[in-house]
């Protein structure tokens, strides 16, 4: 998952993209909204809280088992009956986990809201580096106050003909310690990790993402952003260089997107599109019969998933390096069962080999 700053209230690197979206100014430079960054943050945080509840209900209904999501709340969300006022002023989060379901062998949906954190010199320098690329108006400094909110979901499926689904959306807000200026930006994405290529399912997933992105970012838009760029960022990030292969068939990935009313609408559409993009695949393929060999192949590919998380994912590495980390929260996206076979080579001409070829050379699924 991308929502790794839940492990610590000082974590801000979870919002650093593998590469920033090009030629986008941060803070005050693209003004399509009368809403302040703080107003947008509060609206988005409430949306995330409500959307977590709604999405879990849909997943449980689709799963059809008696294994409902557990609830692990902390901080302002420690109890089900925590007051709305407390949630609007204090930090906290909710980790929801389902295990042993009919459809979802293991899944996690994590909400985090961080308020009134203070930027260290190192974290401020990280943000300054991104701002230099983007020519932002507000220069973030050590001691500035930040808030962050994110929702992430990872669903590892029981049936190898249903891809693992991963997605997240997030916002990061910084307030100057010296005046009333503030800046906020969005990040997020959505992607599939299939074990067997069912081309029409993968194509529809990507085409739906493209249609949604194009509706918000037409050609020559003021954010200089496109579906093609977000698809490329996704492919570049979820990559295992030692294997020379990508983790899955990708989707979209974006970061450093100025928080305005129009981009808020886009990010909400990204999140509300998660279940409509994945549940039809579950309905179509979730009951397909599979062999022990096909299940073992799924476990081998899950091994690559865990390999990426532990070796390359910046959020996991940061979370585990902190003193007294919330290890269960950091590692919640790990698959339930994996396999590592020495020098495993798929049979020539098999569906397993076809998947590997795509993972080594990603394709445009929208054409």
Are 292 and 55 spatial neighbours (Cβ–Cβ below 8 Å)?
A: no
Instruction: With CA atoms as reference, report the closest residue to 129 among 38, 263, 26.
Output: 26
The total of other beta-carbon atoms located within 10 Å of residue 205's CB is 25
CA-CA distance, 317 to 339, in Å (whole number)?
Answer: 22
Q: Copy the structure tokens of residue 244.
A: 């020379």
* pTM of the model as a whole: 0.89
CA-CA distance, 41 to 63, in Å (whole number)?
Answer: 32
Q: Copy the structure tokens of residue 78.
A: 């420690």
pLDDT by residue, tens only, the chain of 367 residues: 334 333 333 333 333 333 444 333 334 345 555 689 999 999 999 999 999 999 999 999 999 999 999 999 999 999 876 566 767 778 999 999 999 999 999 999 999 999 988 888 887 887 776 665 555 566 788 889 999 999 999 999 999 999 999 999 999 999 988 887 899 999 999 999 999 999 999 999 999 999 999 999 999 999 999 999 999 999 999 999 999 999 999 999 999 999 999 999 999 999 999 999 999 999 999 999 999 999 999 999 999 999 999 999 877 887 787 677 788 888 999 999 999 999 999 999 999 999 999 999 999 999 9
């Amino acid at each position: 998952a991308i929502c790794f700053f839940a492990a610590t209230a000082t974590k801000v690197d979870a919002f650093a993209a593998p590469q920033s979206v090009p030629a986008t100014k941060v803070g005050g430079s693209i003004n399509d909204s009368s809403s302040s960054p703080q107003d947008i943050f509060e609206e988005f945080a409430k949306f995330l809280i409500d959307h977590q509840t709604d999405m879990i209900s849909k997943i449980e209904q689709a799963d059809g088992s008696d294994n409902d999501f557990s609830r692990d709340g902390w901080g302002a969300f420690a109890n089900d009956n925590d007051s709305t006022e407390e949630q609007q002023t204090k930090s906290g989060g909710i980790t929801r986990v389902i295990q042993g379901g009919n459809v979802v062998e293991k899944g996690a949906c994590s909400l985090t809201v961080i308020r009134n954190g203070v930027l260290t010199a190192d974290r401020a320098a990280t943000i300054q580096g991104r701002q230099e690329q983007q020519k932002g108006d507000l220069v973030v400094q050590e001691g500035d106050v930040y808030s962050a909110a994110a929702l992430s979901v990872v669903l590892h499926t029981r049936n190898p003909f249903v891809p693992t689904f991963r997605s997240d959306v997030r916002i990061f807000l910084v307030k100057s310690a010296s005046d009333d200026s503030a800046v906020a930006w969005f990040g997020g994405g959505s992607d599939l990790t299939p074990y067997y290529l069912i081309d029409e399912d993968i194509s529809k997933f990507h085409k739906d993402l493209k249609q949604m992105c194009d509706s918000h970012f037409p050609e020559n838009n003021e954010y200089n952003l496109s579906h093609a760029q977000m698809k490329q960022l996704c492919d570049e990030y979820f990559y295992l260089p030692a294997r020379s292969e990508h983790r899955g068939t990708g989707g979209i990935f974006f970061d450093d997107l100025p928080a305005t009313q129009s981009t808020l609408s886009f990010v909400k559409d990204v999140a509300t599109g998660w279940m409509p993009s994945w549940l039809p695949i579950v309905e179509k393929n979730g009951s397909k019969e599979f062999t022990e060999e096909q299940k073992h192949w799924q476990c081998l590919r899950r091994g690559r998933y865990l390999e990426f998380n532990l070796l390359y994912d910046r959020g996991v590495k940061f979370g585990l390096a902190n003193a007294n980390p919330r290890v269960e929260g950091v590692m919640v996206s790990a698959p339930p069962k994996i396999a590592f076979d020495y020098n495993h080579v798929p049979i020539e001409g098999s569906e397993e080999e076809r998947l590997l070829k795509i993972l080594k050379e990603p394709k445009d699924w929208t054409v």
